[in-house]
């Protein structure tokens, strides 16, 4: 089955270096949580910064943001960073309203969001890729299911079944399990409307289909995994960084006849894992102007060796070395507008 191109990814008109993030990483060992290349520039502040800044947005990125905040505030004692991680959609709203100057997002902004932002402030937001996530489908560790397809996910999570499944999937027996599993009901756990993760899943996997009314809505990425940990019959989606020993991520196949691929650093790097995505920081600053030191130091840290080590230790995947080096250099000079460059390669 040919997949519909993501409108999020079509709509993200980002500067030129991002397009290779999803498809051309440096070769790496097949480790779930890889180390960061020591060639990546270390964080070296130009000066001590002070003041208050709020970062609003992605719940998926919560653990990364919290550690960045702690480390930056130790380096800059007069810097105070507050975090609000209710979801990517909330981050976009705060960025547009001017409530925050930095939004953390687990998806690119859409064309409509960029157009609305531009009408309000007169310029487009600046997008900075800061990490890569393998979006995982989690089941309980004792669940014998060993793989799943996009069509099965659609029939399991959505009442519309836009991928053409002949019937709704409501029991584990419909996925081939036997014994006590055969007639046991599947309990799907999903993210709410504020979540970029939920929005990504609905648009990319469910093809904008409606969630089943039987789905259990969870407020965050960790709560999805916690729910699956505590219910053998549950299934949910979250970032791979929230994996625990009590759950297992399923290998996924996008289309009929496609291979089932595990969510690993290598599969996310080479493009074979179909549910990979870039995590971003969006900055509300006029393009082609010198960066405000407060924002510049935050971004410089995020793309530094130390910042990317936080990404890896949080269970996510660092950006390619050459892109991190380019980003580090970029944030010492005016940033080109996101509207003047190519976006990331479409997921297929």
Cα–Cα distance measured from residue 172 to residue 187, given in angstroms and rounded to the nearest whole number? 10
More confident residue, 240 or 269: 240
Cα–Cα distance measured from residue 198 to residue 191, given in angstroms and rounded to the nearest whole number? 5
Q: Is 223 a member of any domain?
A: yes
Q: Is 63 a member of any domain?
A: yes
Q: What is the pLDDT of residues 147-173, one digit of tens each?
A: 999 999 999 999 999 999 999 999 999
Q: What is the pLDDT of residues 169-221, one digit of tens each?
A: 999 999 999 999 999 999 999 998 888 899 999 999 999 999 999 999 999 99
- 18 and 127, same domain (yes or no): yes
Cα–Cα distance measured from residue 96 to residue 116, given in angstroms and rounded to the nearest whole number? 8
- 257 and 139, same domain (yes or no): yes
- 208 and 181, same domain (yes or no): yes
**CB of 84 within 8 A of CB of 54?**
yes
Phi/psi of residue 217, each to 5°? -85, 130
pLDDT of residue 32 exceeding 70:
no
Q: Is 281 a member of any domain?
A: yes
**CB of 229 within 8 A of CB of 256?**
no
- 92 and 144, same domain (yes or no): no
**CB of 62 within 8 A of CB of 90?**
no
pLDDT of residue 14 exceeding 80:
no
pLDDT at 336: 42
Q: What is the pLDDT of residues 62-88, one digit of tens each?
A: 999 999 999 999 999 999 999 999 999
Mean pLDDT, rounded, of the chain: 86
Tally of CB atoms within 10 A around 54:
15
Q: Which of the four pLDDT bands, split at 50, 70 and 90, describes residue 266?
A: confident
Q: Is 347 a member of any domain?
A: no
- 16 and 91, same domain (yes or no): yes
Q: Is 299 a member of any domain?
A: yes
Beta bridge partners of 277: 133
**CB of 30 within 8 A of CB of 264?**
yes
- 168 and 140, same domain (yes or no): yes
Phi/psi of residue 96, each to 5°? -70, -40
CATH number for the domain spanning 155: value is 3.40.190.10
- 213 and 312, same domain (yes or no): no
Q: Please give the tally of structural domains in the chain.
A: 2
Q: Is 271 a member of any domain?
A: no
pLDDT at 333: 55
Of 264, 289, 314, which marks where a domain is finished?
264
Q: Is 2 a member of any domain?
A: no
Q: Which structural domain, as residue segments, surrounds residue 84?
A: 7-132+276-340
Q: Is 157 a member of any domain?
A: yes
Q: What is the pLDDT of residues 82-125, one digit of tens each?
A: 999 999 999 999 999 999 999 999 999 999 999 999 999 999 99
- 219 and 113, same domain (yes or no): no
pLDDT of residue 146 exceeding 70:
yes
- 215 and 144, same domain (yes or no): yes
- Indicate the range of 35-44, 61-70, 135-144, 244-253 predicted with least confidence: 35-44
Of 264, 287, 317, which marks where a domain is finished?
264
* Buried-state track 140-177, b at ≥16 Cβ within 10 A, e below 16: beebebebbbbbbbbbbbbeebbbebeeebeebebbeb
pLDDT at 50: 94
């Amino acid at each position: 089955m040919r997949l519909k191109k993501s409108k999020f990814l079509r709509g993200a008109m980002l500067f030129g270096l991002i397009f290779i993030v999803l498809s051309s990483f440096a070769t790496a060992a097949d480790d779930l949580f890889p180390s960061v290349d020591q060639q990546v520039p270390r964080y070296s502040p130009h000066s001590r910064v002070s003041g208050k800044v709020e970062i609003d947005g992605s719940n998926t990125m919560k653990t990364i943001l919290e550690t960045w905040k702690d480390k930056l505030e130790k380096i800059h004692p007069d810097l105070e960073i507050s975090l609000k991680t209710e979801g990517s959609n909330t981050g976009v709203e705060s960025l547009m309203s001017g409530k925050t100057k930095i939004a953390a997002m687990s998806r690119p902004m859409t064309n409509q969001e960029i157009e609305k932002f531009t009408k309000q402030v007169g310029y487009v937001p600046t997008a900075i890729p800061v990490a890569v996530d393998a979006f995982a489908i989690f089941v309980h560790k004792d669940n014998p299911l060993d793989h799943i397809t996009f069509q099965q996910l659609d029939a399991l999570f959505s009442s519309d079944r836009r991928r053409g499944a002949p019937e709704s999937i409501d029991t584990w027996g419909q996925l081939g399990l036997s014994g006590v599993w055969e007639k046991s009901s599947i309990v799907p756990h999903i993210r709410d409307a504020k979540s970029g993760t939920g929005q990504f899943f609905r648009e990319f996997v469910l093809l904008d289909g409606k969630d089943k009314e039987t789905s259990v809505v969870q407020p965050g990425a960790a709560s999805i995994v916690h729910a699956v940990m505590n219910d053998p019959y549950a299934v949910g989606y979250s970032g791979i960084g929230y994996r625990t020993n009590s759950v297992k991520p399923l290998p996924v196949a996008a289309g009929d006849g496609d291979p089932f691929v595990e969510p690993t650093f290598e599969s996310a790097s080479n493009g074979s894992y179909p549910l990979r995505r870039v995590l971003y920081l969006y900055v509300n600053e006029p393009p082609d102007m010198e960066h405000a030191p407060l924002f510049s130091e935050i971004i410089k840290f995020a793309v530094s060796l130390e910042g990317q080590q936080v990404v890896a230790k949080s269970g996510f995947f660092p950006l390619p070395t050459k892109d991190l080096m380019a980003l580090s250099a970029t944030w010492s000079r005016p940033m080109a507008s996101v509207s003047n460059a190519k976006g990331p390669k479409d997921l297929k």
